[in-house]
């Protein structure tokens, strides 16, 4: 039997067997179809079974399927790095491959700690993170979600020491946001004045906390937070596993702030949703701190499929699709529809780039709406009381408008 993730197998409905994907659509074995409004857990960027990526994968699989990335390097990895360099800040120029978002985060956390340890500052053992963060399900990634995480409560006994920063939530009609931001920054400043030299890094999901419930916060806050922690010599990690590749409107969420991070994590949409692949990207200053005659100062971390050539070829094909001029037009079209559709009976509406979210009165209401939509051929997943839409880029205007009509009807039936 297949043991599904995030599922209480005793009570959950049996899964439907999907036999085919095409654009926004998923087809079941009995011929029904469902519009995938969450891009299959935020990975399917261009649509299901995108022919250009499928072709790149087939070609690479028939040429070189895998090779260990130590004594060897290969063209797809080099091509991907060259492409990403054209959209990343110049300062981020060392690319470490792994296989998924959680491992990209683990690598970033390990790099940040060892960066200081290699330079005789091993006392910097703690991490700063945002309240309610989600950075993945491995132990390091869980630890930087904090002890009150809604996902990792079973494992908090094993978490390493961190400090949690409240998030000044932004949504339509929010009041006193500047005052809230200022208050939080003052709290962080007080903490850092006392304990600043015990922290190695701040990790954040820039602009949107995805799994927490599509919680958005302003770039102005991010910029001030980053500048503040930097002034205490602390490294900054942007986990762009979810936000990367046009989710927030621009290529990366970090494009919205002038001060760039020291480490960035990418995954999910990196291969357009075809294959698991991730990157932890570091500055030159960080890389230099691992160079030594002492082998122990190297980054001793790796995975069997590190930098898999087929996944890199998929990522290159996906990147080329992202960089077509149409991408920004599509993001704009989706964003305009998100903003223009009225929804009665919801609260805390928030929209950024391709993402639109709002809250219902309770998780039970959210579940009812999702179930109704599923019957109507629309697949979404709630995050507590929050519902969100994050369609693949190939969605058409009339398809998204239809989803909003169905959504309004489902909410009215509550």
Ligand X SMILES: Cc1ncc(COP(=O)(O)O)c(C=O)c1O
Report, in Å, the least distance between residue 211 CB and ligand X.
5
d(CA 200, CA 185): 18
End-to-end CA distance of the chain, in Å? Answer: 35
Given the complex with ligand X, which of 239 and 262 has the nearer CB atom?
239
Q: Tally DSSP H helices, then E strands, for the chain.
A: 13, 16
Pairing of strands 162-165, 199-204: unpaired
d(CA 140, CA 23): 35
Report, in Å, the least distance between residue 105 CB and ligand X.
5
Instruction: Please answer whether residues 200 and 124 qualify as being in contact, where contact means their C-beta atoms are separated by less than 8 angstroms.
Output: yes
Report, in Å, the least distance between residue 403 CB and ligand X.
22
d(CA 150, CA 308): 33
Instruction: Please answer whether residues 268 and 43 qualify as being in contact, where contact means their C-beta atoms are separated by less than 8 angstroms.
Output: yes
Given the complex with ligand X, which of 281 and 410 has the nearer CB atom?
281
Q: Which of 233, 225, 167, 157 is nearest to 195 (CA)?
A: 233
Contacts of 66 (CB under 8 A, 6+ apart): 305, 308, 309, 310
Residue nearest to ligand X (CB): 101
Report, in Å, the least distance between residue 327 CB and ligand X.
21
Cα of 148 vs its chain's centroid, Å = 20
Given the complex with ligand X, which of 233 and 302 has the nearer CB atom?
302
Report, in Å, the least distance between residue 406 CB and ligand X.
26
Which residues, listed in sequence order, are joined to residue 386 by a DSSP beta bridge? Answer: 359, 383
d(CA 50, CA 274): 9
Given the complex with ligand X, which of 196 and 249 has the nearer CB atom?
249
Report, in Å, the least distance between residue 209 CB and ligand X.
8
Report, in Å, the least distance between residue 42 CB and ligand X.
6
Please report, for residues 35, 38, 101, 227, 396, the alpha-carbon distance to residue 47 in angstroms, rounded to integers and kept in the order given.
Answer: 10, 11, 20, 37, 11
Cα of 365 vs its chain's centroid, Å = 26
Q: DSSP label at 17?
A: P
Report, in Å, the least distance between residue 90 CB and ligand X.
24
Cα of 354 vs its chain's centroid, Å = 13
Q: At what angle do helices 326-340 and 397-412 cross, to 10 degrees?
A: 20
Given the complex with ligand X, which of 60 and 267 has the nearer CB atom?
267
Residues that bind ligand X (CB under 6 A): 100-102, 105, 134-136, 205, 210-211, 239, 241-242, 267
d(CA 400, CA 337): 7
Given the complex with ligand X, which of 264 and 313 has the nearer CB atom?
264
Report, in Å, the least distance between residue 389 CB and ligand X.
16
Given the complex with ligand X, which of 262 and 406 has the nearer CB atom?
262
């Amino acid at each position: 039997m297949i043991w599904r993730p995030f599922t209480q197998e005793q009570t959950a409905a049996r899964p439907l067997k999907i036999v085919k994907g095409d654009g926004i659509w998923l087809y079941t074995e009995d011929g029904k179809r469902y519009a995938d409004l969450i891009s299959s857990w935020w990975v399917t960027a261009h649509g299901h079974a995108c022919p250009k990526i499928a072709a790149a994968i087939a070609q690479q699989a028939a040429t070189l399927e895998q090779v260990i990335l130590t004594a060897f390097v290969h063209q797809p990895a080099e091509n991907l790095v060259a492409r990403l360099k054209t959209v990343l800040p110049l300062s981020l120029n060392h690319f470490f491959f792994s296989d998924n978002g959680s491992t990209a985060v683990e690598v970033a956390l390990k790099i940040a700690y060892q960066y200081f340890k290699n330079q005789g500052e091993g006392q910097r053992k703690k991490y700063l993170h945002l309240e309610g963060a989600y950075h993945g399900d491995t132990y390091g990634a869980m630890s930087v979600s904090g002890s009150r995480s809604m996902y990792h409560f079973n494992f908090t006994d094993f978490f390493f020491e961190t400090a949690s920063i409240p998030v000044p939530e932004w949504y339509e009609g929010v009041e006193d946001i500047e005052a809230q931001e200022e208050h939080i920054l003052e709290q962080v400043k007080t903490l850092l004045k006392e304990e600043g030299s015990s922290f190695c890094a701040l990790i954040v999901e820039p602009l949107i906390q995805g799994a927490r419930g599509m919680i958005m916060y302003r770039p102005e806050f991010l910029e001030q937070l980053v500048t503040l922690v930097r002034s205490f010599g602390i490294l900054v990690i942007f986990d762009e596993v979810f936000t990367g590749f046009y989710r927030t409107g621009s290529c990366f969420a970090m494009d919205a702030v002038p001060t760039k991070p020291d480490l960035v994590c990418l995954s999910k949409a990196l291969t357009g949703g075809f294959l698991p692949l991730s990157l932890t990207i570091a500055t030159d200053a960080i890389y230099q701190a691992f160079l030594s005659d002492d082998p122990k100062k190297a980054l001793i971390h790796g995975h069997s499929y590190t930098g898999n050539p087929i996944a890199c070829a998929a990522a290159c094909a996906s990147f080329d699709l992202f960089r077509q001029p149409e991408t920004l037009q599509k993001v704009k079209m989706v964003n305009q529809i998100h903003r223009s559709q009225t929804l009665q009976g919801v609260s805390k509406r928030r929209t950024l780039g391709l993402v639109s979210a709002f809250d219902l009165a309770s998780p039970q209401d959210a579940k009812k709406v999702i179930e109704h939509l599923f019957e109507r051929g629309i697949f979404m997943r709630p995050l507590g009381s929050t519902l969100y839409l994050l369609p693949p880029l190939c969605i058409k205007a009339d398809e998204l408008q239809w989803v909003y009509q169905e959504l309004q009807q489902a909410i009215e039936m509550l």
